[in-house]
Amino acid sequence: MTDKKPVVVGIGELLWDLLPDGKRAGGAPVNFVYHATQLGAEGYAISAVGDDVNGIEILRELERVKIRKIISRCPFPTGTVEVVLENGLPRYTIVENTAWDNIPLSEEARAVVRRADAVCYGTLALRSEKSRQTIKTLLAEVPERAYKFFDVNLRGSYYSKELIGELLAKANVFKINDEEIKTVRELFDLRGSDEDACRELLQKYHLRYLIFTAGEKYSTVYSPDEESSLETPRVKAVDTVGAGDAFSGAFIYSLLTGKSLQEAHRKAAEVAAFVVTQPGAWPDYGKFFSE
C-alpha cells in the first residue's frame, strides 16, 4: 500500500432515489465512487444535472460526502427514480430524457479518466445517444493498467445483447447478480450452471475478475487463477438499495490498496452487509468504522 490515494471514477447516472421515506442521492456508478471514497479513495463523478432545485441539492450532496465532480448543467431535469420497497427489495421506475441522458464530453473528464486507477460504468446511462458517445469516448482513454469495472445493472428495457457484449469487451472486471444472469444466459445462450456461465464469460472476454452476487445467500469472485466464495453475512436488513454498488466499491478499493482477492472479497461482503442495515445508498460510514 502506498500513500497515494487511488483515483476512482464513476461515469453515468446521477439521480435522486425517491424512497418511501424521502429522496436520497444515488446512481450506480456514483454509488460505487461513494463507497470507495468513504474508504479512502480520491473519487470523481462524471455526469450531468439540470438547472433545477434537484440539481443544486445533489451537487451539495456530492460536496458533503467529498466526491469530486465533473458535472455539467443542462436544460433537462435532474434524474429521479421512484423506488418502491417490497419486503426490503427495491423496484424501480426510471424517468426518461433527464440530464444524465445528456452528458457532454469535456476535456476535464478526459483528463481525469486518463489518470484513473478504476472506472465504473453500466448499461443504463448508454440508453441515450448523447451519453452513449461520451461514455464510449471516455472509456477508450482509460489507462490499460486501470480496472474497467462493468456493472451490468439491468433496468427496464435499457439493454440489449449487442450493448452488453460491447461493454464487456471494454471491461476487465464484470459484476452480475443471480437475477441478471438469467437474462444474460438467455441472451448469450450460456449453458450449464451459473458457475459455468461465469467462467465462460471470464474466459471469453479476458476478464481479470468476474463478481457474482446472490443476495442474502452468497457471493463468488472468479479470476483466471483464483476463486473466492463467501456466504453473505447475516444482518437485519433495512433495504438493499446500493448494496451491490457498496460491494463493488469496497472490492476495487481493497485491490487498489494491495489486498489479495480473498481479503478484498471479505471487505466487500462486510461493507455490503453494513449498507443493507442502513437506509439509502449513501449511509454514514461513521457507524461502519465504529463497529
Mean pLDDT to the nearest integer, 78-95: 79
| C-alpha distance from residue 106 to each of 27, 28, 72 (Å) | 20, 21, 9
- Computed from CA positions of residues 242, 247, 252, 257, in that sequence, does the dihedral angle turn out positive or negative? positive
Q: In what order do the strands lie in the sheet containing 218-222?
A: 68-74, 42-50, 7-11, 118-122, 147-151, 173-177, 209-214, 218-222, 227-231
Strands 79-86 and 89-94, bridge-based pairing = antiparallel
C-alpha cell at 196: 459455468
103-136: burial string, b at 16+ Cβ within 10 Å, e else: bebeeebbebbeebbbbbbbbbbbbbebbbebbe
The pLDDT tens digits of the residues spanning 93-112 come to 888 999 999 999 999 999 99
The pLDDT tens digits of the residues spanning 182-236 come to 999 999 999 999 999 999 999 999 999 999 999 889 999 999 999 999 999 998 8
Residues 33 and 249: beta-carbon distance below 8 Å: yes
Residues 36 and 291: beta-carbon distance below 8 Å: no
- Among candidate residues 20, 2, 18, 17, the one with its CA nearest the CA of residue 245: 17
The pLDDT tens digits of the residues spanning 197-211 come to 999 999 999 999 999
pLDDT band of residue 1 (cuts 50, 70, 90) is: very low
CATH superfamily membership of 7-281: Ribokinase (3.40.1190.20)
Q: In the predicted model, what is the mean pLDDT of the chain?
A: 93
Mean pLDDT to the nearest integer, 7-13: 97
Per-residue pLDDT at 290: 60
End-to-end CA distance of the chain: 24
238 burial type by CB count under 10 A (0-12 exposed, 13-18 middle, 19+ buried): middle
Q: How far is 30 from 11, CA to CA, in rounded Å?
A: 7
The domain ranges of the chain are 7-281
Least confident window among 19-23, 68-72, 166-170: 19-23
